Amino acid sequence: MPNENGTAREITYREALREAMTLAMRNDDSVFLMGEDVGVYGGAFGVSRGMVEEFGEERVVDTPLSEAGFTGLGIGAALVGMKPIIEVQFSDFITHCMDQLVNQAAKLRYMFGGEAEVPFVLRTPGGAGTGAAAQHSQSLEAWFVHVPGLKVVMPSTPHDAKGLLLAALDDPNPVLFYEHKLLYNRKGDVPEEEYRVPIGEANVSREGEDVTIVSAGLVHHYALEAAESLADDGIEAEVLDLRTLSPMDHATVAGSVEKTGRLVVVEEDVKTAGWGAEVVSRIVEGESFYALDRAPARVAGADVPIPYNKNLEAHVRPSPEKVIEAVRSLVDERVGVYS
């Protein structure tokens, strides 16, 4: 079905990412892809499949098993005018390149007074639900929301994946681009032509009057599922897709909360110090606080390592049912606390 951006086809999230990278590399020789198994193998999740055949091994570069090494190399390449796309095979492994990201990429443009740019995009699959256990299933994005100088993007649809990745490649600042593993096979309408989704702008995916549900990434679809179920009982939820965690679109969230008077935030990272706490804090610290009829609720991952057992894994993750329970705790006339 066509959309406002032009002629669209239904393709997967994976294909939308590949299309964005391919378009960027065809149009700009300074763009290249680097990471573990991104070449002949096509990436751990098949995102770059076929790209090495078109662009060759000098622009689709298989790296050694050293996230610290190739992330640092990518930052250096960005400083001298290249536009690297770095793929870290699992987001858990970003822990190996914290110094490169936090102390180097995030700081250099500021430290050089804006005279140096770091047009660097780090793509990485995150999140649980695949049975990959504690060291390959984490959602660590809140760490980087905390770091000035880094932009953090988390698209939920194929359309936004393509548009946000192209926007990230235009940006002179380092961008962390989170892709949930369970989204790669999800299909959606995506225009064939180039387009950009602005970094830092949330999307109102569903309008409603009774409660605001804020989410991003995979759990945005849980929020939509919950909203449809709640509508059967006469509860109309407004669902917001942040799309970008940093910079965060507070204005759109505040406008929705001022309309509905209730707020539920849904996130997959662990609840303690999760990015959802920032959404809530900005509301309760500002004028929108006076629009609230109830204390906000958060639906998040449990504060435990991700279990391997599929039933335990499901138990510690957000779900549409948990979102429904949180919403009901706010719209019910009885005052209760959701935890």
Mean pLDDT, contiguous 10-residue spans, the chain (339 residues): 63 98 98 97 96 97 96 97 97 96 96 95 97 95 97 98 98 98 98 97 98 98 98 97 98 98 98 98 97 97 97 97 97 52
Question: Does some domain include residue 31?
Answer: yes
Whether 148 and 250 share a structural domain: no
Q: Are 265 and 296 in contact (CB under 8 A)?
A: yes
Residues 119 and 16 in one domain: yes
Instruction: Based on the fold, state whether residues 20 and 160 are members of the same structural domain.
Output: yes
Domain end point (choices 145, 171, 191): 191
One domain, residues 214 and 324? yes
Residues with Cβ within 8 Å of residue 116, at least 6 apart in sequence: 79, 108, 109
CATH of residue 109 = 3.40.50.970
Domain presence at residue 62: yes
* Neighbour-count burial of 171, counting CB atoms closer than 10 A to its CB (0-12 exposed, 13-18 middle, 19+ buried): middle
Cβ contacts of 36 within 8 Å, gap of 6 or more: 44, 62, 63, 64, 65, 87, 88, 89
Record the pTM: 0.94
Query: Residue with structure tokens 């110090």?
Result: 273
Query: Tell me, what's the pLDDT at 8?
Result: 72
Query: Tell me, what CATH number does 248's domain have?
Result: 3.40.50.920
Indicate which residue of 15, 19, 36, 67 is catalytic.
67
Structural domain count of the chain: 2
Q: Which domain holds residue 257?
A: 203-331
Residue 96 appears among annotated catalytic residues:
no
Catalytic residue of the set 19, 136, 141, 159: 136
Res 4: pLDDT: 52
Task: List the one residue out of 250, 179, 189 whose CA is nearest residue 216.
Answer: 179
Return d(Cα 115, Cα 137) in angstroms, integer.
38
Query: What pLDDT score was predicted for residue 164?
Result: 98
Catalytic status, residue 136: yes
**Same-domain check for residues 12 and 161:** yes
Q: Are residues 145 and 112 in the same domain?
A: yes
| C-beta separation of 192 from 170 below 8 A | no
Question: Are 117 and 86 members of one domain?
Answer: yes
**Angle ∠(10,13,19) on CA atoms, nearest 5:** 80
| pLDDT, position 40 | 93
